[in-house]
Chain A
Amino acid sequence: MDFNRIKEKLNILADAAKYDVSCSSSGSNRKNKDSGLGDTGNGICHTYTEDGRCVSLLKILLTNHCIFDSAYCVTRKSNDIKRAAFKIQEVVDLTINFYRRNYIEGLFLSSGIFKSADYTMERLIAVAKKLREEENFNGYIHLKSIPGASDELMYEAGLYADRLSVNIEIPTISGLKLLAPDKKHEDFIKPMLKVKNEIIRYNEERKIIRSTAKYAPAGQSTQMIIGATGESDKDIMYSATHFYKNYNMKRVYYSGYVPISTDSRLPSLGSEVPMLRENRLYQTDWLLRFYGFSVNEILDADNPNLEMDIDPKLMWALRNLNYFPIDINKADSRMLARIPGIGMGSVHKIINSRKYRNLSWDHLKKMGVALNRAKYFIICNSNEWERRDLDAAKIKGMILQSQNGKFKNNYINQLSLFN
């Protein structure tokens, strides 16, 4: 193996793959087979990059040659960059050797589209097949579904991969037309639909024949770029909800647009990555998936965007003060989960421990509840509670003063514009 050449390729092809934010290696149930190599579990982040993102998979492109010219993409045809391509065996060797040293949980393989969608998809499948069949590798494999790939290939991909994903990239169809005129919306949807249907079919069959082979056991995911086409938070979250509901997505990822091009249709080079917005969108995503909120409670026609200075749950609570204060010792878990400053961990602790005694401020504090936010919304076993009749703006002001968030500078700068 020519290590210098591999190193050069790895440089180029890891660099081009890094904008794919998915890093998850959880959700699969593949176990070690015949004393071979690897297994999967709850997912492990083996290290974190200096920008604070988890590294759990070897995330590379097979090649960055591409026949498409999507404006938001670094590997677009018209971009003047170094091109490279891995041989199938090279990717297999890298994966196995990194895995044996406990660097990674597995492989995340994507690719620029060369020749045709099917031709590219075949190559991706060939890597996964070789890992599974020749190396008896049972670690995690995430394959990118190439938009426009045929149903037969999507079927085959699911037999070797743990997870499949197609990145929808642009949350609105009009945005896609503007930035990637040569890509069709249906091309993204078709492989998604095929994978969804196969997963359902395999799960049905497994109920009858327990030994049915695995098909994409970790499901599928997708990704949207944030802040490239002037879409609202409502557009993004409604579209995410659509994918969760209709395609049984395991995850939707939100990726703040990193300026990479001088194209006039896009934010200019040097404009800031919308990291705070990205953070608020993920918080909203969590409220929808774990806290029992529905999307129209948080975002609607009157409130198309999230507030940047407070988290979305606090935003909801301030708009719905009529639900509060909530009694910690009586409310059901659904309502407890809606109190700002209380996470699902605290909900679990409260529900369990109030069987033994009524809880007071002191108990809540020790359990890890963020009282600086929660105290305006709850009563507990104590004579002290917020008796003043405060309005939403007042509460917000007091909470903002009491906290020292990592993003504080961001909105203080914004405010000073008007002073």
Chain B
Amino acid sequence: MNTTKTLIYDGSFNGFLTAVFIGFEQKITHADIQRQGQIQSGLFTETEIIFTNVEKAQRVWNGIRNKSNTAIKNVYFAFLSEQNNIEALLYHYIQKLMGSKYNGETDFGDDCILKINQLAHKVGREKHRMEAFVRFQLTKDEVYFSNIEPDFDVLPLISKHFRNRYADQQWIIYDVKRKYGLFYDLRSIEIISLDLTDIHTNRIEKSAVFTDTEYKYQDLWNNYFQSTTIKSRINTKLHVQHVPKRYWKYLSEKKEAV
């Protein structure tokens, strides 16, 4: 009986789910699922290349979802964490889930279940942070534009939030690290990739791309940020805990601090 095998997939979530399908089909106990281009194969393990199959992926998705809605959310969120070997851990998680009579995803005494739960939680926090820290700048062709650099690949998770909220303005949120973005054109959201010559951080020099009033509003916002601080209660440690420094360069209110 087959116990260990390396499965190589294309990096997409559907690809991963297809690999899980193949793993279960061949009754592999330890599936080492690896992303194409980042392969570290063991000496004697067998390798198979997985071709993404939406139908198979869908069946795995439904299977997990029928077990529990929380579990499918945990799987998707943890997958987006892009952690090393997250695929193998998730495979193990799905095995446990399918083998359990109850709602296996609440067995927090189990290391693997707890780990996935905590990872999903972390990704959820990053999603929430991005909903907070996106700063749009208005370009001369009337698009509200923002660069982000999140710790995890959260763009797919935040698109609905921004679509519901900014339904009457065109906007782009572009992930500089992963080199893709979302563009909303007042009708629907498209995934785009741009040839960005420069990354629009919160620099003090003005860029010709943005409108003049854009900088006036940034100025007002900075001003508001200063005036609303109570000087006798300054608590820098708490401030940095809530607004970690790695995000500062995209926040217009931290222009001077960067």
Contacts and interface: CB of A to CB of B under 8 A. Distances in A.
B217 A101 contact: yes
A14 B228 CA distance: 6
Contacts of B224: 10, 14, 58, 98
A170 B128 CA distance: 36
A359 B144 contact: no
Given A94-B220, A258-B233, A44 B239 contact: no
12 contacts: A17-B228, A35-B186, A47-B243, A49-B225, A50-B236, A51-B238, A97-B217, A101-B217, A101-B221, A273-B232, A355-B106, A356-B110
Main secondary structure of the interface of B (DSSP, over half): helix
B104 to A, nearest CB: 8
Contacts of B207: none
B230 interface: yes
Given A11-B223, A55-B225, A48 B239 contact: yes
A292 interface: no
A67 interface: no
Given A14-B227, A51-B235, A100-B136, A39 B165 contact: yes
Interface of B: 102, 106-111, 114, 128, 131-138, 144, 146, 161, 164-169, 186, 216-217, 219-221, 223-225, 227-239, 241-243, 251, 253
- Which 3 residue pairs spanning A and B have beta carbons closest together? A52-B238, A352-B106, A353-B108
A233 to B, nearest CB: 20
Given A100-B138, A102-B136, 12 more contacts: A15-B227, A19-B230, A37-B166, A45-B132, A51-B238, A53-B233, A101-B217, A102-B135, A356-B109, A359-B109, A366-B111, A406-B237
A44 B242 CA distance: 12
Contacts of B138: 100-101
Given A10-B224, A352-B108, A367-B108, A101 B144 contact: yes
B221 A103 contact: yes
A44 B232 CA distance: 25
Contact of A44 (B106, B108, B131, B228): B131
A49 B239 contact: yes
Given A32-B164, A39-B164, A10 B220 contact: yes
B223 A7 contact: yes
A3 B164 contact: no
A47 B238 contact: no
Interface in A1-55: 3, 6-7, 10-11, 14-15, 17-19, 31-32, 35-39, 41, 44-55
A41 B158 CA distance: 13
Given A45-B242, A349-B108, A55 B223 contact: no
Contacts of B243: 47-48
A45 to B, nearest CB: 6
B225 A47 contact: yes
Nearest to A19: B230
Contacts of B133: 46-47
A275 B234 CA distance: 11
A184 interface: no
Contacts of B232: 258-259, 273
B7 to A, nearest CB: 29
A59 interface: yes
B167 A36 contact: yes
B120 to A, nearest CB: 14
Contacts of A102: 134-136, 146, 166
A51 B239 contact: yes
Contact of B223 (A10, A41, A101, A355): A10
A206 interface: no
A51 B221 CA distance: 17
A42 B166 CA distance: 17
